Amino acid sequence: MSDDRQGKNLIFFSYARPDRDRVAPYYSDLNDNSYNVWMDFHEIKGGQNWDLEINQAMDSAAIIVAFISNNSVNKRGYLQKELRIAFEKYREKLIDDIFIIPVMLDDIEIPSVVKSFQVISERDGNSINSLKESISAQLARLGETITKVQESHGLKWKFYQYRDEWEGLPGYDASYDIILIESSDYPPAREIGHVIRGTLSHDIMLQRQVMFEQNSNHLNFGKSKYWRTNTYNAKCTGVYVVENVVSVEYTIYTFLGGAAHGYTYFRTFSFIIHPTVYLQSIEDIFTDPAAAFPSVQMAARSYLMNVDLRRDDEEGEPVRLEEGSVTSGTQNWQQFSSFIFTEDGIVILFPPYAVGPYSHGPQKAIVNWRTIRPFAKHHILCALGREFEHFDEKSEAEQRGMFRSPAVQQGSSESPPASTESTGQ
């Protein structure tokens, strides 16, 4: 995605390919009126990594406009792949920092996944103007939310992009979002951005090693640039502030030239703001990490085993992760290395393959404060504003009863609790 398309006000168009000509007038009108619109037909050039460009644009978007028609909904009412991804992106967000605006191009039954949104219908005759009004209102709301979060914590952040590329066999194309954090109350907070940039810069230095490892036996210049280029893209996908603690989440996409597909994983950074201290691992939170791990592990496994993997428009029995995959992916602290602080607790992020098959994508588990508090360091609780919080403790037997086999849970409709926190995206 080109640099001028980066930014929180990106508007992503999601549509079925046969509807391109019907969607084009919306793109032209918004683009002519200085909206920052992204439509794959105009943005993706020949030879570019389609999967990377689509996902990067979705991750950058403040608004996703989903055009729904007979072409995008099959006879069973399922949305086509890209539209499903758009709604899944919305569900993955841990705060109301991204909006979906459905536009009905045909007079069809509204899919169940869309019914909770305010829908714009082309049959009303003024759909383009209605879309512009809705976008303007949503952007204003988003701006107000970000401003309130930043002002309430005396913290501001903004983004730039760094990119470096080199053509070879393989070549590399490496980029990452630079986050600049400033605090009017505590100037050393700017060091947060320095720590993050240093880590991501190290990753890019590793990419440059291919300059000494050229391989013309496996790759050649007859292949498209994308297929013979190693890709590294680190996108900031969330800034979360809880009292005196800030967490920054990056989603990283990598592709090795000649590979079958790319891979996505997470890198997170958490800091106490004042004094500015880097919490380098989840173990730093606890007085005795070894004593805390069984309880944290149990809570994470329970959450993951209750995730319903069905799409929003899919009926039938709940689809769960396999117990064996969850167990093998949660055996030690290292597997909990990607974490962020939220109002609900600590969110553990798992990349594809970690706790389930690649087809199920990344997963998250929320470990609530009831579980964390007995083991957390006092100054961590103080920084999070939870030093005086009290809970009714569950017995160990009750907690262990929360982690059951999928067969026992099969009839349950219970889903993990929703999470909310503050973000600057």
Both 167 and 97 in a single domain?
Answer: no
Q: Which CATH number do you get for residue 244?
A: 3.30.565.40
Question: 191 versus 311: which is more confidently predicted?
Answer: 191
Average of per-residue pLDDT across 268-280: 97
Question: 78 versus 386: which is more confidently predicted?
Answer: 386
Asked if residue 281 has pLDDT above 90, the reply is yes
Confidence of residue 40 (pLDDT cuts 50, 70, 90): confident
Asked if residue 383 has pLDDT above 90, the reply is yes
Both 240 and 127 in a single domain?
Answer: no
pLDDT of residue 409: 29
Q: Tell me: the pLDDT tens digits for 216-267?
A: 888 899 888 888 999 999 999 889 999 999 999 999 999 998 887 888 999 9
Query: Phi/psi at 279 (nearest 5 deg)?
Result: -90, 90
Q: Which domain holds residue 51?
A: 3-152
**Does some domain include residue 162?**
yes
pLDDT of residue 227: 84
Q: Tell me: the pLDDT tens digits for 93-142?
A: 655 556 889 999 998 888 877 777 889 999 888 999 999 999 988 888 77
Contact 138, 101 (CB under 8 A): yes
Within 8 A by CB and 6+ apart from 219, the residues are 169, 170, 227, 228, 257, 258
- What is the Cα–Cα distance from 376 to 399, expressed in whole angstroms? 18
- What is the Cα–Cα distance from 178 to 175, expressed in whole angstroms? 9
pLDDT of residue 310: 80
**144 CA to centre of own chain:** 21
Tokens 């999070």 locate to 384
Total domains in the fold of the chain: 3
Asked if residue 424 has pLDDT above 70, the reply is no
Asked if residue 406 has pLDDT above 90, the reply is no
Instruction: Single out the residue in 239, 259, 279 at which a domain terminates.
Output: 279
Contact 327, 301 (CB under 8 A): yes
Contact 244, 270 (CB under 8 A): no
- What is the Cα–Cα distance from 197 to 159, expressed in whole angstroms? 12
Asked if residue 163 has pLDDT above 60, the reply is yes
Asked if residue 422 has pLDDT above 80, the reply is no
Angle, helices 20-32/127-153, rounded to nearest 10 degrees: 60
Both 118 and 175 in a single domain?
Answer: no
Q: Which CATH number do you get for residue 333?
A: 3.90.640.20
Instruction: Single out the residue in 128, 152, 176 at which a domain terminates.
Output: 152
Both 327 and 373 in a single domain?
Answer: yes
- What is the Cα–Cα distance from 123 to 105, expressed in whole angstroms? 8
Pairing verdict, β 171-183 and 155-166: antiparallel
Angle, helices 81-92/50-60, rounded to nearest 10 degrees: 40
**Range scoring the smallest mean pLDDT among 110-124, 187-201, 288-302, 331-345:** 110-124
Asked if residue 362 has pLDDT above 70, the reply is yes
- The DSSP bridge partners found for residue 120 are 103
Average pLDDT of the chain to the nearest whole number: 83
- The DSSP bridge partners found for residue 10 are 61
192-196, 256-260, 388-392, range with greatest mean pLDDT: 192-196
pLDDT of residue 313: 61
End-to-end alpha carbon distance in the chain: 17
Question: Where in 45-115 does DSSP place strands (E)?
Answer: 61-68, 99-104
Question: Where in 256-369 does DSSP place strands (E)?
Answer: 263-272, 277-279, 339-341, 345-350, 363-368
Tell me the Ramachandran region of residue 7: left when phi exceeds 0, alpha when psi lies from -120 to 50, beta otherwise. Answer: left
- Per DSSP, the residues of 185-200 read S-GGGGHHHHHHHHHH
Asked if residue 276 has pLDDT above 90, the reply is yes
Question: 411 versus 97: which is more confidently predicted?
Answer: 97
The rounded percent of the chain whose pLDDT value lies above 90 is: 51
Both 135 and 229 in a single domain?
Answer: no
**Does some domain include residue 291?**
yes
